[in-house]
């Protein structure tokens, strides 16, 4: 176990009131898909320019407490004269740099349609290097798929075990682990099925964390919300999603956890913000901070505005600032549709 005071202070900073975490940890394959969508080649220079645009957006530190980086990004430098490392640039703004450390979800042998996240081999050594490069927290994403007779108990347990091993290694290195069990919204299942699978997953994850002696005050949970499947004929309303999600988490997430930073998981930018807002508006007194750790829901608008053209940098930064501001307001239940129309 590392320094509990350091872990706790870092975790509290990550879920500071009114702020959330930007997920800018797209793998090479994922960022290529994003760039393909705007007709831009995914070169190292273009990826660096795009991250520079996001990280230098004026006043973004008012709404962003941390940024999850990819290995390449953590080693890159800003486009300023001094070529300041991105980790230093962020830290100077009071934004904590983090790092994605898993190596992706792969097919789980013997369980068709299910996945296991890999990356534990050599993780202790990588974490030590990332700490030297400025990372103060890490992220590991487990993927739980809903389908015909899945997820299996074996899939949930195997992923929970991997998350716990990762979290323990992070804390040993004085790095706060973001624990991310994502129940995918892909499928035609209704919200009742998602509710049940989410409950089963959270129970197994926290049992595994307890078994591996993970210090809960020094983690941040990054889960999916309780939602209808993306192709379900009936989509649950914003208020129902908020109530189902929070009541589920009140049953299954210990009060010792400093904060829950929800992922957007394929939701539209506005829908993800509305769900976060409803949770905080309907449940103002919760044992943990209810925050966000969004990737596409924060980046879709600025990426579309930028399209790789330096002349569009200011408009792209305004789009990013707006989405961050909206989610900052949702942290306090103060987000409104009028904020979208005003933009």
In this prediction, residue 1 carries a pLDDT of 73
Q: What is the mean pLDDT of residues 298-323?
A: 95
19 is catalytic: no
Q: Residue 101 corresponds to which tokens in the numbers above?
A: 């450390």
> Which string of DSSP letters, residue by residue, matches 78-110?
-SSTT--BHHHHHHHTTPEEEEE----EEE-TT
Q: Please determine, for residue 90, whether its predicted confidence score (pLDDT) is greater than 90.
A: yes
pLDDT above 70 covers a percentage of the chain that reads 100
DSSP 26-53: --HHHHHHHHHTTT----HHHHHHHHHH
pLDDT tens digit string along 214-252? 999 999 999 999 999 999 999 999 999 999 999 999 999
Q: What mean pLDDT is reported for the chain?
A: 96
- In this predicted model, what pLDDT tens digit does every residue of 133-163 receive, in sequence order? 999 999 999 999 999 999 999 999 999 999 9
pLDDT band at 333 (very low <50, low <70, confident <90, very high): very high
Q: pLDDT tens digits for 41-78?
A: 999 999 999 999 999 999 999 999 999 999 999 999 99
Cα dihedral 256, 115, 172, 61 sign = negative
Instruction: Return the beta strands (E) in the chain as ranges.
Output: 20-24, 64-69, 96-100, 105-107, 115-117, 137-144, 176-183, 220-221, 259-262, 289-294
Question: By percentage, how much of the chain surpasses pLDDT 90?
Answer: 95
Does residue 204 register a pLDDT over 80? yes
* C-alpha to C-alpha distances, 95 to 35, 137, 183, nearest whole angstrom: 25, 11, 28
C-beta atoms surrounding 341 within 10 Å: 7
Known catalytic residue at 125: no
| Predicted local confidence at residue 113, as pLDDT | 97
The pLDDT-based confidence of 340 (bands split at 50, 70, 90) is confident
Mean pLDDT of 265-293: 96
Catalytic residue among 114, 180, 182, 300: 180
- The pLDDT of residue 192 is above 90: yes
Which of 222, 239, 243, 340 is flagged as catalytic?
A: 222
As a whole number, mean pLDDT of residues 95-122 equals 98
Instruction: Mark residue 207 as left, alpha or beta (left: phi above 0; alpha: psi -120 to 50; beta: remaining).
Output: alpha
Q: Are 292 and 21 in contact (CB under 8 A)?
A: yes
The domain limits of the chain are 4-342
pLDDT at 342: 76
134 touches 123 (CB < 8 A):
no
**96-111 mean pLDDT:** 98
- Give yes or no for a contact between 181 and 140, defined as CB atoms under 8 angstroms apart: no
Residues 118-127: what's their mean pLDDT? 98
The pLDDT of residue 238 is 97
Residue matched to tokens 């499928």: 187
Least confident range of 66-70, 288-292, 333-337: 333-337
Residue 89 has pLDDT above 90, yes or no: yes
Q: Is the pLDDT of residue 209 over 90?
A: yes
Residue pair 14/220 in contact (Cβ under 8 Å)? The answer is yes
Q: Which band of pLDDT confidence, cut at 50, 70 and 90, is reported for residue 302?
A: very high
The per-type count for the chain, helices as H runs and strands as E runs, is: 13, 10
Residues 329, 74: Cα–Cα separation, whole Å: 29
CATH level 3 topology of 4-342: TIM Barrel (3.20.20)
Contact between 316 and 302 under an 8 Å Cβ cutoff? The reply is yes
Is residue 141 within 8 Å of 23, Cβ to Cβ? no
Spatial contact of 31 and 47, defined as CB atoms under 8 Å apart: yes
């Amino acid at each position: 176990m590392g320094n509990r005071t350091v872990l706790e202070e870092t975790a509290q900073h990550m879920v500071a009131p009114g702020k959330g975490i930007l997920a800018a940890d797209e793998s090479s394959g994922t960022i290529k898909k994003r760039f393909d969508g705007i007709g831009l080649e995914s070169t190292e220079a273009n990826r660096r320019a795009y991250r520079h645009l996001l990280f230098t957006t004026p006043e973004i530190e008012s709404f962003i407490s941390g940024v999850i980086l990819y290995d390449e990004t953590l080693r890159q430098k800003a486009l300023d004269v001094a070529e300041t490392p991105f980790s230093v640039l962020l830290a100077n703004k009071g934004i904590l740099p983090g790092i994605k450390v898993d190596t992706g979800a792969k097919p789980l042998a013997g369980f068709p349609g299910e996945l296991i996240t890999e990356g534990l081999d050599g993780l202790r050594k990588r974490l030590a290097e990332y700490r030297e490069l400025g990372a103060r927290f890490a992220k590991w994403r487990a993927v739980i798929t809903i389908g015909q007779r899945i997820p299996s108990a074996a899939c949930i347990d195997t992923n929970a075990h991997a998350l716990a091993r990762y979290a323990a290694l992070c804390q040993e290195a004085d790095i706060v682990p973001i624990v991310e069990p994502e129940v995918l919204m892909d499928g035609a299942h209704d919200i009742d099925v998602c509710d049940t699978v989410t409950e089963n997953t959270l129970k197994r994850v926290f049992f595994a964390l307890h078994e591996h002696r993970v210090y809960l005050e020094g983690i941040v949970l990054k889960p999916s919300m309780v939602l209808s499947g993306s192709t379900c004929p009936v989509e649950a309303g914003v208020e129902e999603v908020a109530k189902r999600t929070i009541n589920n988490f009140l049953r299954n997430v210990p009060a010792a956890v400093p904060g829950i930073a929800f992922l957007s998981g394929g939701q539209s930018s506005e829908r993800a913000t509305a769900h976060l807002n409803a949770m905080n508006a309907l449940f103002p007194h919760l044992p943990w901070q209810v925050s966000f750790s969004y990737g596409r829901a924060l980046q879709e608008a600025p990426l579309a505005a930028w399209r790789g053209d330096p002349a569009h940098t200011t408009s792209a930064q305004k789009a990013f600032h707006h989405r961050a501001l909206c989610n900052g307001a949702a942290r306090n239940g103060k987000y409104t549709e009028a904020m979208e129309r005003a933009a």
